[in-house]
Amino acid sequence: MSTHHVNTNDAREQFADLLTRVTHDKERIILTRRGREIAAIVPLDDFRRLLALQDEHDLADAIDALREARTIGTVSLEHMREEA
């Protein structure tokens, strides 16, 4: 799977072609503006994998927070407001 950089002005003119390259050739396109990378057009499968990784990370964080709450305990919102 290849990655190419395209500036936003060219991307406007080539949008249909870029979508074809991404969907059929599984190419990844990095959009640039003034030489800086600003966004990406990626195959939907890549995007879904990214979302799944984020979900896994969020789940791991939630499990860690639950373990900490069971070990250390919790503080009520009312208590936190009183301390503020």
Q: Using one digit for the tens of pLDDT, what is the confidence trace for 29-50? A: 999 999 999 999 999 999 999 9
% of the chain with per-residue pLDDT over 70: 100
pLDDT of 17 above 90: yes
**Superfamily of domain 3-42 in the CATH hierarchy:** YefM-like domain (3.40.1620.10)
- pLDDT value of residue 32: 98
CB atoms within 10 A of CB 3: 10
pTM to 2 decimals? Answer: 0.67
Beta strands in the chain (DSSP E): 3-7, 28-33, 36-41
Q: Domain extents for the chain?
A: 3-42, 45-83
